[in-house]
Amino acid sequence: MQRVLPVNHVLLPVLDFLLAKGIPLQPQVKFMNQVTGSDNQERIDDLKITSRVLAYASAFGCIFICLRYAFPGLLHGVTSKDWAATGQIFMALLWASAWFAVAFVFGFLFGIPKALQSTPKIIPPASSDPHTDADAADKSANQLKVNTNLEEISDWLTKILVGATLTQLIKIPGAIWKAADFMAGAGGGVGPIPFAAAILIYFSSVGFFAGYVLTRMFFSLAFSRFDRGLSGKDLDTLAGRLINPEAEPEIQEDAYNSIVYQYLYQPPPDGFQKAIKYATQFLQQNKPSRPSIYINLASAYGQQYGHLKTRGVAAGELQKVRDLALHTVRKAIDLYPDSKIRLRELLHPRPGSPDNDLQVFESDKDFTDLLDS
């Protein structure tokens, strides 16, 4: 089984749980920021400066709108007619917000980064063992890809808008004037047409720039941070930081469960070997309260059995791994009988399912009698 699992799906809930328990997490959180590709300090500073500039630009436009209605009252005194300006201010600010929001969406679509549309061909390192090459190919074939529908829409919309703009360039001033005329006369209006046109142009420009820049500086990094998985080296370091022998048993169990589960997604044989190592380490020191650690350990033994079987190892060694897997499955069922449901899914996976760790025992009578009964 080779799958790519985003780190957020498992490890972030663990950190949230530890935080709820009052465990100091600054080292762990700092490391999570490192392994998930967090911005360095310079990038964070750039984002803060850019956000501040955009906020100032938006505030300047809003202040300008308010001053346009306030000046007549300040210069000539407030009259009963001037109270109508209050409604016009809100209308103008509402139009400004609308143009800003629409332009922000277009800026967001223009700024969406392009993800890899197809799985790249991975050239494995030279090896004298053909089974190693087969594992690398299997890993490549089973990687999950990010859904890129929004990026495709962005690409299509960008081409359409650029093409339409270039062919209809001379009509843009007239379209702006018509939109400003509608703003000036709709629902009491916002004032003269030139003023309405200024609102349209200014807030559309600021909104588009804000959408594009923030997408490039923040949203694209957030997407990348969510979609990338952990490497084996990152997971080794994280395991050393999360596992604390002095922590409460419940906290230790959650940490071990998450680490073991993550190792099941790493390439063999290192992945299942370390999953077995950490699971057995926990079971030697603690009594589990949930069957998860047993299910994950049984999955690791299933991976190990399949890995060894493809290498033609001795039947005695295969039998030893098979017996360990069966023993672990029984332990999970003894602890929680309903864990049969999940174990049965691993034994008889649906076609194409990557969760097939126990499928290597599908023809084993002891497994089928235990799980299919």
Q: Is 133 exposed, middle or buried (0-12, 13-18, 19+ CB in 10 A)?
A: middle
Residue bearing tokens 């500086």: 217
286 CB-near residues (< 8 Å, 6+ apart): 249, 252, 253
| Calpha distance 344→261 (Å, rounded) | 18
Range with top average pLDDT, 31-35, 62-66, 133-137, 237-241: 62-66
Q: What is the pTM of this model?
A: 0.50
How many residues does the structure list for the chain? 373
Pick left, alpha or beta for residue 191 (phi over 0 → left; psi -120 to 50 → alpha; otherwise beta).
left
Phi, psi of 229 (to 5 degrees): -100, -175
Answer with the residue of higher pLDDT: 231 or 147: 231
Enter the CATH code of domain 7-37+231-371. Answer: 1.25.40
User: What is the domain partition of the chain in residue ranges?
Assistant: 7-37+231-371, 41-227
pLDDT, residue 103, reads: 92
Q: Express as a percent the part of the chain with pLDDT over 70.
A: 69
Query: Is the pLDDT score of 98 beyond 70?
Result: yes
Whether residue 80 has pLDDT greater than 50:
no
Residue 134: predicted pLDDT = 42
Nearest to 58 by CA among 191, 260, 208: 208
**Axis-axis angle for helices 41-76, 193-214 (nearest 10):** 170
| Alpha-carbon span 72 to 70, nearest angstrom | 6
Residue scoring higher pLDDT (115 or 268):
268
Within 10 A of 358 (CB to CB), how many other CB atoms are there?
A: 28
User: Is 60 exceeded by the pLDDT of residue 14?
Assistant: no
Per-residue pLDDT reduced to its tens digit, 19-66: 444 444 433 443 444 444 444 567 777 878 888 999 999 999 999 888
* DSSP 3-state of 231: coil
Report the candidate in 287, 263, 267 with the shortest Cα–Cα distance to residue 276.
Answer: 263
pLDDT computed for residue 284 by the predictor? 92
Q: Is 37 helix (H, G, I), strand (E, B) or coil?
A: coil
> Which pLDDT score, from 0 to 100, does residue 37 have?
44
Q: Is the peptide bond before 249 cis (omega within 30 degrees of 0)?
A: no
Beta-carbon count within 10 A of 244 CB: 13
Per the model's pLDDT, the better-predicted residue between 132 and 48 turns out to be 48
AA identity, residue 119: T
**What's the pLDDT score for residue 106?**
87
Q: Which of 106, 213, 193 is nearest to 158 (CA)?
A: 106
CA dist list (Å): 268 to 213, 230, 303: 41, 15, 8
**pLDDT score recorded for residue 304:** 96
Q: What is the spatial distance between Cα 273 and Cα 292, in angstroms, rounded to a whole number?
A: 18
The pLDDT value recorded for residue 77 is 57
Q: Are 241 and 29 in contact (CB under 8 A)?
A: no
Q: State whether residue 6 is helix, strand or coil.
A: strand
Predicted confidence band at 168 (pLDDT cuts at 50, 70, 90)? confident
Question: Residue 321: its pLDDT value, please?
Answer: 96
pLDDT digits 0-9 by tens, 173-224: 888 889 888 888 765 578 788 888 999 999 999 999 999 888 888 877 666 6
Sorted by sequence, the CB contacts under 8 Å of residue 331 that are 6+ apart come out as: 291, 294
In this prediction, residue 167 has a pLDDT band, given cuts at 50, 70 and 90, of confident
Confidence of residue 130 (pLDDT cuts 50, 70, 90): very low
Look at 103 and 41; give whichever has higher pLDDT. 103
Query: In which band, very low, low, confident or very high, does the pLDDT at 315 lie, cut at 50, 70 and 90?
Result: very high
48 vs 288, higher pLDDT: 288
- Mean pLDDT, the chain, rounded, equals 76
More reliable by pLDDT, 149 or 306: 306
Using the structure block, give the residue that is written with the tokens 């490497």.
231
pLDDT at 86 over 70: no
Give the pLDDT band (50/70/90) at residue 301.
very high
The alpha helices in the chain, defined as continuous H runs, are: 11-20, 26-35, 41-76, 84-111, 130-141, 149-167, 172-185, 193-214, 220-227, 232-242, 249-263, 270-285, 292-310, 315-335, 340-347, 365-371
